[in-house]
Amino acid sequence: MSTPAGPLTGLKVIEFAGIGPGPHVAMLLADLGAEVVRIDRPGGGVMNPVVERARNRVTADLKSEEGKAFCREAASKADVLIEGLRPGVMERLGLGPDELLADNPRLIYARMTGWGQDGPLAQAAGHDINYIALTGALDAIGKAGETAVPPQNLVGDFGGGSMYCAFGIMAALYERERSGKGQVVDAAIVDGTTSLMSFFFGLPKSAVRTTERGKGLLGGASHFYRCFKCADGKEISLGAIEPQFYAELLARSGAPAELAEGQMNPANWDEYAQKMAALFVTKTRDEWCELLEGTDACFAPVMQLDEAREHPHMKARGAFVEHDGAWHTAPAPRFSRTPGAVRSSADNGADVVAGWTKG
């Protein structure tokens, strides 16, 4: 495993193996220099080499006294612990926050779950689709008159989950600089996703500003904030909300002149969308890119994941990194003095922990 780099160099993190948002939190910290030891269960292995990169790995049986002793010793030397088990499981193993914070009062104990540590649903199984359904986020996604469409697991697991957990960890570390004390971070996907919905809660309700499925300016109903199919079957995206950007879109695309009036009137949107669809199907996606990309028309091609890696802007930004013969997403965000880096994992976690100093 290469030498850590980045603004979190020196931060010691214990990650209990899991799936989804927990490993993503550990990846975010590791990319920015944290030294992460991932504790795998016997028989476990690498499920996702991109998300599980930059780890020191060790296998421990959490039901054995030897395995529990190792975990307690590791936690006593760590700055951060990340676990995503069902509420109460870590307590039954003797590895709950009360025990581990008693050994290491400076420990930040991050708990990543869907429903949270308490509440009527805390002990129920669930996945991203269920968590975002409860928050009102899923209800807003899809076409009018059809069932809601799950947006992969981006909104819940990673948007409302891992990003808020990572933010909570950094906030707790900042507070620890003043108090000298660690604490528990209860990161629940339902809480984070609800926070993501703040913008919509604060909007005055109207036909333009609505979360009703398939309606509203941002929900796919407007002709200037949606995707259209091109002559080659590929798609482009438009986001020309502001009048000056909308005017540029119409001028550069050669759209019918009547579309210049009544942009924000929802009564026009269906008809205008049909005219825009008829326009965009006359050229290929690449031809539309030649006309519109890089202008103030608020335009971008809809890229497949493998295509995105080859786009000139993404290549110029270094958004994807080739490492050990495979492609990885680049560390984010970026830092001027202490940049993060993609690093390999190694099976030397126990040796690393043995070298850590307590507290």
CA distance to 5, 19, 129, 131, 304, per residue, from 154 (Å): 27, 14, 10, 12, 16
Calpha distance 226→216 (Å, rounded)? 11
**Residues belonging to the active site:** 127, 157
Calpha distance 34→331 (Å, rounded)? 12
What is the token pair recorded at 224?
Answer: 């200037």
Give residue 78's identity as a one-letter amino acid code. A
Q: For 72-75, which contacts have Cβ atoms below 8 Å and span 24 or more sequence positions?
A: 72/99, 72/100, 72/103, 73/353, 74/14, 74/37, 74/39, 74/353, 74/356, 75/14, 75/100, 75/103, 75/104, 75/107
Calpha distance 118→12 (Å, rounded)? 28
Taking residue 336's Cβ as centre, other Cβ atoms within 10 Å add up to 5
What is the token pair recorded at 109?
Answer: 């104990």
Q: What angle do CA 30, 33, 36 make, to 5 degrees?
A: 40
Q: Is 305 helix (H, G, I), strand (E, B) or coil?
A: helix
According to DSSP, residue 140 is labeled: G
CA distance to 31, 98, 236, per residue, from 7 (Å): 10, 30, 37
Judged on CB neighbours under 10 Å (0-12, 13-18, 19+), 267 is: exposed
Taking residue 104's Cβ as centre, other Cβ atoms within 10 Å add up to 20
CB 8 within 8 A of CB 170: no
